[in-house]
Amino acid sequence: MNDAAISVSGLRKTYGEVHAVDGLDLEIRRGEVFALLGPNGAGKSTTVEILEGFRKRTAGEVEVLGQDPQRADRRFRERIGVMLQNTSGRSFLTARESLHHAAKLYPRPRDVDETLAAVGLEEKANVKPQLLSGGQRRRLDVALAVIGRPELIFLDEPTTGFDPEARRQFWRLIESLTEGGTTIVLTTHYLDEADYLAHRIGIIARGSLVALDTPAGLRARAKAAHVTWLEGGEAREHATSEPSAFLRDLLARHDGEVERLEVRHPSLEDVYLDLVGLGGVATSESTGAAPADAEEATA
């Protein structure tokens, strides 16, 4: 059996003069949790919607679970689960009813009550949908995406608008649901989310992939530490892969305190911002007045 859940080559999507996706190549393996990152308008939602079979591509080859999603048939839909970017507010069905009816569409669905429990909605199972909070509706959306026991799940910005604690809970939920070889394609704006959940991260900018690596691999790309300090009232900055040696020299040149001395190791976020072409902003931004310790911040 083909090892790739998704393979994309030369993908292009053009709206008039605008190239939303411009020559994208990508391969996602079965069982992999893959995160697609990129600024708004970079083409990540367009790409995901082409993979989901919602949008037609202008050019390129796309295979999802061995099929062309543009000709998505019933069999294809039975094998994928989709969580859209926005939650629908318009339903008169309770969470249990929604899942009950959704389960009937699939050949071998999960158990409705078990799924409700898995997403932590068992107490809200019979509540009117208007009375669910935003986070609870998102959890219902996840439940609906996994009820058919899909081989491949798309999660499009699943935690946008969540508070940090709710996001952590949500990540654990995704983890628990994905044991057993399910492939997951996730888009997100949150680097910590991609870092926590994904095996590999693809960064998309201006319609094509600018990086494809593991979270650790991406972080390792930024070797240089940034040393910043004030000298004669003027901000100074130096990038080096040997900050200790540089500091020894720096301290030797100064008597007493070096004002606002800071050594900062680039975070995943700095790497990301560099890659999408916004790097200048990130590296000049100080993390605060307190001297950074030697530990690497992981954003």
Among 2, 10, 66, 75, binds another protein (CB under 8 A): 75
Instruction: Decide if residue 52 touches another protein (CB under 8 A).
Output: yes
Convert residues 148-187 into a mask of x (bound to another protein by CB under 8 A) and - (unbound).
x--x------------------------------------
Residue from the set 31, 106, 189, 212 that interacts with another protein by CB under 8 A: 106
**One residue of 6, 44, 48, 55 binding another protein per CB under 8 A:** 55
Q: How far is CA 73 from the centre of its chain?
A: 27
Residue among 2, 9, 10, 56 that touches another protein (CB under 8 A):
56
β-strand 183-188 against 33-37: which pairing, if any?
parallel
Query: Per rule CB under 8 A, is residue 71 in the interface with another protein?
Result: no
Q: Is 90 in the site for another protein (CB under 8 A)?
A: yes
CB of 58 to another protein, least distance (A): 12
Residue 82 touching another protein (CB under 8 A): yes
Part of the chain binding another protein (CB under 8 A), chosen from 102-110, 163-171, 201-209, 231-239:
102-110
Rank residues 131 and 290 by Cβ distance to another protein and give the closer one: 131
Residues found near another protein in the complex (CB under 8 A) = 1, 49, 52, 54-56, 74-75, 77-78, 80, 82, 84, 86, 88-93, 97, 101-102, 104-108, 144, 148, 151
